[in-house]
Structure 1
C-alpha cells in the first residue's frame, strides 16, 4: 500500500485507532472518508477536523453497508483503499450459556460478518482500480488468547485466516490484502483500557503503523514491535509462556 495519494474509506473510525489512523493518513496526503453510526458524531468530527469526508454506516446491518457503499462510490469514484476497522470486544464467562451467547453472537456479527460484507460491497469496484488495497484489522490476540475475551480472540483469528486466504485468491488482481495486527492499544475498546499501563499509547501505535506502511509498501502484515511478542510465540517455541504472561499481565489486552 502506498502511503499517499489514495482515497481511503474507514468504517468504524469515529474514535480510537480508526479515527487516529484516518487523521494520520489524511496528513500524509490521502483523501479519507470515515464511517460511523451516529450522524451527530460524524458532524462533530468533521467540524474538528476539516477535510475529512463522512458517511453514516452500521457495519452490523447489511442494508446499511450496501447504502453506504453506493454513497461512497458515487462521491468518490476513485476510491482505492478499504480499511475494515469496525470491531467490538467483550469480556465473557463461558461457564453458562446465558452469560456469553448474546455477546458472542454480537462479536462475530461485528468483527467477522461486518468485514466480509464490507469486502463484498466494494470488491468489484476495487478490482477495477489500477492499484487497490483491502486492509483488514486483526489483533495480537489472533495468535495468543486472552482468557477473558474468547469470542474476540476467535473473531480476530478468523480475520487473520480470511486475510491470508483472500490474498491468495486476489493475487491475480490489482487488489493487495494487508492485515493490521494491533497489540493492546490505549483506546476505549474495553472499559479502562485507555488508561492501561500495559497498553501501547495510541499516538505511538499509529505513528509506527504509518511509518511501517511508508517504509514497507509491499508488506502483507503491519506489525508494530510490541505485537511481535504475541504474533510469533508459537514460531519461537515459547507460546505457553506468552499465553501465561498475557493473562497474568492485564485484563485489557487487545
Structure 2
C-alpha cells in the first residue's frame, strides 16, 4: 500500500499499537479514522488529536459493526484502507475448564470474529476503490506458541490463514491483503508486558512498520526484524528450540515471555 494519501479506518486504535499506528499514519499525510468501545477515551484522544476522526464501535457486536460501517462509508467515501486492530490476550489454564472457557470464547470473538465482521462490512465498498488495502493483524505467536495463551495463539494463527485465503480470493481486484505480524511489543496487552525485557519499544516497532510499508509496497507480510525468530523457526529447522526459548522465562510462560 502507499504510505500516504489514504483514508484509513483502524477499529481498536484507542491504545497500544493501534493508536500509535494511527498517529504515525496521520503524520504521513493520511486521513485517519479510529474506533473503540469507550466513548470517554475516544473523546480524550480526539481532544488531543483533533485531526483524527472517531467512532464508537464494539467489534464483538455484529449490529455495532454493521451500523458503524454504514456511517464511516457514508461520511468518508474515500475510505480505502481497513486495519482491524482490536484484540485481547488472556493467560489461560486449560487443565481447569472453569478457568479458561469464558476467556477462550471472548478471545475468539474479539480476535477472529471481530476482523471477519469488519472485513465483511467493508469489503464491498473497498472493491469500489481504485486501490485499497485490508491490513490484518496476526502475531509472531501465530507461528510459535506461548504456553500461557492458547486461545490467543490459535486466534492469530487463524488470522494468518484467513489473510492467505482472502489474498487468493481478492487476487485480480483492487483490494490487496497485507498481514502485519507483530512480535512482543511494549504495550499493556498483558500485565507486565510494557516492562518486559524482550518487548520491542512501541515507537521503534511502529517506525519500522512504516519503513517497511514505504520501502516494500508489494509485501504481503509486514515483518519487523524482531518477529522473524518466531515466524521462521519451522523453516529454519529450529522450531523446537524457538518454542523452548519463548517459554523458558517462567514455568507458567507468563513472565518475560511477553506477548506478540
Q: Give the whole-Å Cα distance in 2 for the aligned partners of 1:172 and 1:206.
A: 30
Residue aligned with 1:94, SS: coil
The runs of 5 or more residues in structure 1 that have no matched partner are: none
Q: Give the C-alpha shift of residue 252 in structure 1.
A: 2.1
Pairs aligned (count): 254
Q: Give the whole-Å Cα distance in 2 for the aligned partners of 1:71 and 1:165.
A: 28
Aligned to 1:84: 84
Aligned to 2:227: 227
Q: Give the whole-Å Cα distance in 2 for the aligned partners of 1:68 and 1:248.
A: 43
TM-score by length of 1: 0.99
Aligned to 1:146: 146
Aligned to 2:18: 18
Aligned to 2:253: none
Whether the 8 Å CA contact 1:9–1:79 is kept in 2: the answer is yes
Q: Give the C-alpha shift of residue 251 in structure 1.
A: 3.7
**1:16-65 Cα distance to aligned partner (Å, 9 max, x none):** 00000000000000000000001111111011112000011000000000
Q: Give the C-alpha shift of residue 195 in structure 1.
A: 1.0
Q: Give the whole-Å Cα distance in 2 for the aligned partners of 1:8 and 1:66.
A: 17
- Structure 1 runs (4+) deviating above 6 angstroms are none
The 10-residue stretch of structure 1 (41-50 or 101-110) with the greater mean CA deviation from structure 2:
41-50
Q: Give the whole-Å Cα distance in 2 for the aligned partners of 1:226 and 1:21.
A: 17
Q: CA RMSD for the aligned pairs? A: 0.6
Whether the 8 Å CA contact 1:246–1:253 is kept in 2: the answer is no
The runs of 5 or more residues in structure 2 that have no matched partner are: 250-255
Aligned to 2:181: 181
**1:49-84 Cα distance to aligned partner (Å, 9 max, x none):** 120000110000000001110111111001000001
Aligned to 1:128: 128
